[in-house]
């Protein structure tokens, strides 16, 4: 006889098997980016996991509508966050473009060097496994399934580690942007 925990795990697996692809399609329709849609699905499943006890029949219309509402709200929230981030960086980029400077060639060279260094700096806080996952995903463009197979881990674990690494990189990126902006505008 299956324990309560085993039943919950079976229910979650069944939900994933049935709804993962439709959820991805909904998220992709909203976000128009593969990685962001995958992140939205992952985030949605975390929300579903928190309320798993409230879900009865996995195949019911009620469950289907619940899943759709969760993925829609998750993807829309991510879309809005992307818009806020985009506006924040666009304003900053516009200010740089408007600054007249007589040493454009030298500054471009320094900016290129700074960009290469900043990529290394952004990856620096990650542990070796997370750095490896990020590089496999971004440079080799591997799917989470392929990454999981190479690293002998579950696909969901690879996806979640990538998500956490991405958030750490975004935080580091924001710190680097602030640092560079301070240097450029203090002249």
> For the chain, what is the mean pLDDT?
77
Tens digits of residue pLDDT in 26-74:
888 888 888 889 999 999 999 988 888 888 888 999 988 898 899 999 9
Split at pLDDT 50, 70, 90, the class of 149 is: very high
In this structure, are residues 124 and 118 in contact, taking their beta carbons and an 8 Å threshold?
A: no
CATH of domain 1-98: 1.10.1740.10
**Any idea where the domains of the chain sit in the sequence?**
1-98, 101-187
Question: Is pLDDT of 129 > 50?
Answer: yes
- State the fold for domain 101-187: Arc Repressor Mutant, subunit A (1.10.10)
What pTM does this model have?
0.46
Rg from Cα positions in the chain: 21
């Amino acid at each position: 006889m299956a324990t309560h925990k085993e039943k919950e795990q079976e229910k979650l697996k069944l939900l994933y098997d049935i709804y993962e692809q439709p959820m991805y399609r909904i998220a992709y329709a909203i976000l128009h980016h593969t990685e962001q849609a995958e992140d939205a699905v992952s985030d949605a499943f975390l929300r579903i996991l928190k309320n798993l006890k409230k879900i009865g029949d996995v195949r019911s219309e009620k469950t289907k509508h619940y899943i759709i509402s969760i993925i829609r709200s998750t993807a829309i929230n991510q879309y809005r966050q992307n818009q806020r981030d985009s506006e924040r960086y666009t304003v900053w980029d516009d200010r740089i473009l408007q600054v007249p400077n007589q040493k454009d060639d030298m500054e471009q060279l320094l900016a290129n060097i700074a960009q290469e260094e900043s990529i290394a700096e952004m990856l620096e806080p990650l542990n070796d496994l997370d750095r490896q996952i990020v590089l496999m995903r971004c440079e080799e463009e591997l799917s989470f399934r392929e990454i999981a197979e190479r690293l002998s881990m579950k696909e969901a674990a690879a996806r979640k580690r990538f998500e956490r690494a991405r958030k750490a990189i975004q935080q580091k990126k924001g710190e680097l942007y602030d640092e560079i902006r301070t240097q450029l505008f203090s002249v």
